[in-house]
Amino acid sequence: MSEELHARLRQRGRASVDFLANFGFGMSDLRNSVEEEIQRIVPDPDALPDDLDQRDARMQQSLGASQAYRATQAVGEWMATHHGLVAKHAFEEVREEMEPILKKFEQGGSTVEANPDMEAPAYWDGVDFHRTAGGWDEHDYQGYIHADIVHTRLVAKTFPGGIFAQRRMVAALPPKDHYDKIIDMGCSTGHFTRALQETYPDAEIYGVDLSLKTIQQAQRLGNANGWSWKLYQRPGEDTGFEDETFDLATSYILLHEIPADTIKALFKEAFRVLKPGGDMIMSDVTRYADLDKLAMWRADAGAKYGGEPHWRASASLDLAQIARDAGFVDVTAKAFDPFKYPYVVQGHKPE
């Protein structure tokens, strides 16, 4: 993020955001205690029920006897419901001085095409993803609040592997050194788009996302860095671009936010808009198939209480097969250690 775009929060907002950033450390004794309890009640993960709902019921029942577990749940619930509000209040304290800067970076080579008539799909509309009240689009500056406060000051502080370094690593994976035209599906506030532009400095980059507020933030990021991104409020599964337009089609952690049939449609759309010989790279969360039953339960419970209605179905899919079904060849899938994250699928559109 350009320095100018990085808000200087006032004391109340700054300290409140720091409080959230330190939350995981504050919970560490509780978590250690719960961990010991889990090891005790689940000596063999394989023996847990196959069915995910039954497995969760079993875990909740066993762990429900632990005061530390109950406290973890209660404290975690506070975080789930409050992080978005704290971030929003922190922004409101500096809105007056930030607004001219945000407006300034809406001018420049990066452009946004809003789509007020777009019918927002039911899998997205009104869903508070990540339990953030209002989802991706509630506040005028929701994209900014997400990118500068939630991602940069909270998630980036503790995310294993680093959210920006991970994106740069993935952006460098496609086989060619150069791409003329790239489409980034579900580009949101532009974190991965940025990694792409830094990796392929001459590429002309297009981004699509359902959320207008997030692509407005991507626009500011693009302009603050002198990049000319063309951003569209459009669904990734129906981008409206001509056949054979792009050399590289990408998405980064979009797929777990959309239902299975939409994921299939999205791969087909990527295939359609790629030129013959074009490359595809899609990254998403750890596959359930790469986890033991206990780790899978952890991921699944995290999704259930973390505002992720599509995670379970999405993380259960074989994305490589979906890519092949869409027409891609030389399809590879790789889960990065140590957390089998990100999970990266690559493929090629035949000449």
Ramachandran angles phi, psi of 153, nearest 5°: -95, -20
Smallest distance, other proteins to C-beta of residue 202, A: 37
75 CB contacts (<8 Å, ≥6 apart)?
Answer: 27, 30
Chosen residue from 252, 288, 297, 343 binding ligand SAM by CB under 6 A: 252
The SS3 call for residue 183 is strand
Which listed option, ligand SAM, other proteins, none, makes contact with residue 68 (CB within 5 to 8 Å by class)? Answer: other proteins
Task: Quote the tokens at residue 99.
Answer: 């607004």
Identify which of residues 30 and 98 has a Cβ nearer to other proteins in the complex. 30
**C-beta atoms surrounding 80 within 10 Å:** 16
Which listed option, ligand SAM, other proteins, none, makes contact with residue 321 (CB within 5 to 8 Å by class)? Answer: none
Which listed option, ligand SAM, other proteins, none, makes contact with residue 188 (CB within 5 to 8 Å by class)? Answer: ligand SAM
Smallest distance, other proteins to C-beta of residue 319, A: 18
**Contact between residue 67 and residue 101 where contact means Cβ atoms under 8 Å apart:** no
243 CB contacts (<8 Å, ≥6 apart)?
Answer: 272, 273
Which listed option, ligand SAM, other proteins, none, makes contact with residue 237 (CB within 5 to 8 Å by class)? Answer: ligand SAM
Smallest distance, ligand SAM to C-beta of residue 42, A: 30
Residues 159-188 that bind ligand SAM (CB under 6 A): 167, 185-188
Region of 346 (left: φ > 0; alpha: ψ -120 to 50; beta: rest) is beta
Chosen residue from 7, 254, 270, 345 binding ligand SAM by CB under 6 A: 254
In what side-by-side order are the strands of the sheet with 111-113?
111-113, 230-233, 204-209, 181-185, 246-252, 274-284, 343-348, 329-335
x/- mask, ligand SAM, residues 83-122, rule CB under 6 A, reads ----------------------------------------
**By the criterion CB under 6 A, which residues form the site for ligand SAM?**
124, 136, 167, 185-188, 191-192, 208-211, 214, 235-237, 252-254, 257-258, 262
